[in-house]
Chain A
Amino acid sequence: MDSRSPYYSQKSVYLDHNATTPPHPEVVARASQWLSVWGNPSSIHWAGRDPKNVMRDTRKKLAQILNISPLEIIFTSGGSESNNTVLKAVFEQAQRQAEADSKVTTSNRVSYRHEILISSVEHPSLMKTAEFLASQGAVIRKIPVLKNGFVDMQAYQALLSEKTLLVSCMLANNEVGSLFPIQEMARLAHAQGALFHSDCVQAFGKIPLNLKELNIDYATFSAHKVYALKGLGFTFVKKNSPYVPLIHGGGQERHRRGGTENIHGVAALGVVCDFFSDLLSKQGEIKQLRDHFEKRALTEIQGLQISASESERIKNTSHLLIDGVDGETLLMSLDLMGYAVSTGAACSSGNPEPSPVMLAMGFTREEAQKSLRVSFGLSNTLQEVDLFIEALKEVVARLRAVDIEMKVKNELHAKGDL
């Protein structure tokens, strides 16, 4: 089935690349080739040969892009699985260790590291995993992220202690786009003997990443945010880091993740790897679109602010607060005109609740409800951005007029009734 085109208009413009990206044209062009690669990579016979090559190829390319060893990559079903795996694995390992230690010594679990620090703006797959681990005996502490998009480093340092087992902080935030100083954060964590994980899903393909230089222990990646396919992600696990599989199975991924491999997803990601430097170099053009958009929005729409604009941001993301509009209807109205944007994380847009990320950053419920996220991508043009600005102006004007009309009416009613 074709992706849905707008209902009552001709044009369609996709401005929600942080939710997902359309597959790279080359991925689409080569898709039919992989469909003939149907063998099981674990097979010894001829049918396993091609799929095995696909796996090895992509793994190698990714390792090169990230400056890591191919053996440090574990393919998963996506970012959520990777986030789940890392947190659960590290905690499980720590518990096993503590149990083993308590058999040897009587010091019990005094030195047992059981605190996990996570930033307050993590993806739900990380937040909820942390909540789950809290029910299993972990202590979860949140590293505050300020409204301006900066991590509160002082608070972070105060939270770190010899009890800290793991720190997890995303590299780029999916909603406001802020980049967090994970190299420095990892250094501080290591100094306390803690491990460091970063959800790199939103940063991957948008900024150059050198995991060796960042010196982190674990990282999460997703394929469908970089113009490959859904259903594939991978976990970076630094050599010799504690690890316990989440999915046990037939020995795939060197016994670290069971389940027959997602060959087609891996092949698609491999294609994207071939264009990766191109992808990164295009971020400059994408930034020009974003900056053009923000400049026009700020000058042509009153009562509009850009969130976290002082922080360093990924170049494609713009998060706006627009006075006097309801984000829910704003999104619907723009959709009816053919523009795909978001009010927050895609997972919650089906049922728009104020974004927990925004609330955690100190935005009010009202601010969260009048927010709009625009995330640009490879295929966007300046003309699209200009059309979008015009549409946005029109919708904002209408929503504000209705808002005032309803307020006046309700006031009159309140007076008339009494």
Chain B
Amino acid sequence: MKSKGKVLVAMSGGVDSSVAAALLVEQGYEVIGATMQVWDYSTCDIEEGNGTCCSSLDVDDARSVADRLGIPFYVLNCEAKFKHSVIDPFLKAYLEGQTPLPCVNCNTYLKFDHLIKKMKELGCDYLSTGHYAQVITDDNGHSSIHTSTDDWKDQTYFLFTIDPEIVPKLLFPVGGMKKPEVRAYAEKAGLVVAKKKDSQGICFVGNKGYDKFIEENVPQQILASKKGLIKRYPSGEIFGEHPGIHHYTYGQSKGLGLTYHEKLFVIKVDASDNTVCVGDEKHLFHDEMEVIEPKFLNDLEDGGEYRIKIRYQHQGALGIVKKTERGFKVKFSQPQRAITPGQAAVLYKNQQLVGGGWIKL
């Protein structure tokens, strides 16, 4: 069989990228597997490989899948790059009272930049990942990213920073499948990862929780400088002190350490004086937001209506998008709960990924 081209597949050791690699082999591509070693997992507490990124168990799983498929497999050392472009901004964002989204940075700087370079260096024609997303090419030969067949698993939210030029070089083999089909395929193909749990949360944080991760990776005196007051919103009544703004995220109601006759939510985190504002849930709803550092895969229609996702699990809400100097403004047709700075706002036209940016305070 003549090769359909050479593909570099980013294999995390999870079921999705394993099946992606298997499918490409089956379809007649010449496949090379690679795992990015992004973090020193010697302090990680994940016992079972989660297939999120690359704990050493996940590397072993990826390698055994590659062996099973008879494809070459390599581990790429990305620790320095990962620390610089994912971990450091992640820590910084929390200390600034935001709720960061490290997966997007990982995609921007590692998967769809570093790996693109590796793809070219290895003489490959395509780069493939196990993302739930689809590349669709229209009659004019223009390729764009669309949501996956499995709505529940769709991961296009994390892909808005992809350079439109590289879209034609991307292959998302599981994007047209539903998760149970992916598992069934893995089972049938005898891949060891068929029954592995889905990845949850942030790969490098593990089970310890992000606040513990922050405490381990930020000097004590910096953490101490993030202490402040908890105030009632909007009255400003002081409820007490808190150990650091990095413990709080918008919309949070558990773990506030407050006993009060009504349920309270974090309404706002103000990094300028370390104030955490808590109050009634109704204050979490807003119908406007500002978005900065935009990236577009397709042209934006100024004043047009788009479906906008404000966090990964968000279903998306309709809103009017207007360009601004630094990005764009969104006016939602319905107020949205907990619009959180540091998260991405991602725009869709029907199933097509248009672009996105970062939600600003």
List chain A positions with a Cβ less than 8 A from chain B: 7-8, 326, 328-329, 332-333, 335-336, 350-353, 398-399, 402, 405-406, 413
Contacts and interface: CB of A to CB of B under 8 A. Distances in A.
Nearest to A401: B120
A352 B77 contact: yes
B349 interface: no
B71 A333 contact: no
A353 B121 contact: no
Contacts of A413: 163
Given A333-B123, A398-B123, A351 B75 contact: yes
B122 A336 contact: yes
Contacts of B117: 402, 406
A58 B272 CA distance: 75
Given A350-B75, A351-B37, A402-B121, 4 more contacts: A8-B72, A329-B118, A333-B121, A336-B122
Nearest to A332: B74
A142 B158 CA distance: 48
B77 A332 contact: no
Interface residues of B, number: 17
A329 B72 contact: no
Contacts, number: 39
B76 to A, nearest CB: 7
B34 to A, nearest CB: 8
B100 to A, nearest CB: 21
B121 A326 contact: yes
B54 to A, nearest CB: 11
B121 A398 contact: yes
A352 B35 CA distance: 13
Contacts of A406: 117, 120
| CB-CB nearest 6 A-B residue pairs | A329-B121, A402-B120, A7-B72, A402-B121, A332-B74, A352-B77
Contacts of A335: 72, 74
A328 B76 CA distance: 8
A7 B121 contact: no
A326 B163 CA distance: 23
Contacts of B75: 350-351
B133 interface: no
Nearest to B72: A7
28 contacts: A7-B70, A8-B30, A328-B76, A329-B118, A329-B122, A332-B32, A332-B72, A332-B74, A333-B122, A333-B123, A335-B72, A335-B74, A336-B72, A336-B122, A350-B75, A351-B37, A351-B75, A351-B77, A352-B77, A353-B77, A398-B121, A398-B123, A399-B121, A402-B117, A402-B121, A405-B120, A406-B117, A413-B163
A384 to B, nearest CB: 20
Interface in B103-118: 117-118
Contacts of A7: 70-72
Contacts of A333: 121-123
Interface of B: 30, 32, 37, 70-72, 74-77, 117-118, 120-123, 163
Contacts of B74: 332, 335
A332 B74 CA distance: 8
A198 B122 CA distance: 40
Nearest to B295: A417
Nearest to A337: B123
Instruction: Give the one of B30, B37, B74, B76 with max A CB within 10 A.
Output: B74
A70 to B, nearest CB: 43
A332 B34 CA distance: 10
A335 B122 CA distance: 10
Nearest to A348: B77
B162 to A, nearest CB: 13
Contacts of B122: 329, 332-333, 336
Contacts of B120: 402, 405-406
Contacts of B71: 7
A405 B163 CA distance: 15
Contacts of B32: 332, 336
Contacts of A326: 121
Nearest to B163: A413
A338 B30 CA distance: 15
Contacts of A402: 117, 120-121
Contacts of B163: 413
A229 B156 CA distance: 51
Contacts of B121: 326, 329, 333, 398-399, 402
Contacts of A353: 77
Contacts of B37: 351
Nearest to B32: A336
Contacts of A399: 121
Nearest to B66: A7
Contact of A328 (B30, B72, B77): B77
Contacts of B118: 329
Nearest to A326: B121
Nearest to B30: A8
A353 B40 CA distance: 12
A231 B187 CA distance: 37
A405 B116 CA distance: 12
B64 to A, nearest CB: 14
A324 to B, nearest CB: 11
A323 B346 CA distance: 41
A402 B121 CA distance: 6
Contacts of B77: 328, 351-353
A10 B74 CA distance: 20
Nearest to A7: B72
Contacts of B70: 7
A242 to B, nearest CB: 35
A353 B75 CA distance: 11
A320 to B, nearest CB: 17
A326 B117 CA distance: 11
A326 B81 CA distance: 15
Nearest to A331: B74
Of B30, B75, B77, most A-chain CB atoms within 10 Å: B77
B109 to A, nearest CB: 12
* Central interface residue in A7, A350, A399, A406, by most chain B CB within 10 Å: A7
Nearest to A400: B121
Residue of B117, B118, B121, B163 ringed by the most chain A CB atoms within 10 A: B121
B287 to A, nearest CB: 30
A244 B168 CA distance: 65
A333 B8 CA distance: 12
Nearest to B3: A8
Most buried by B among A326, A332, A399: A332
Contacts of A336: 32, 72, 122
A2 to B, nearest CB: 13
A9 B189 CA distance: 25
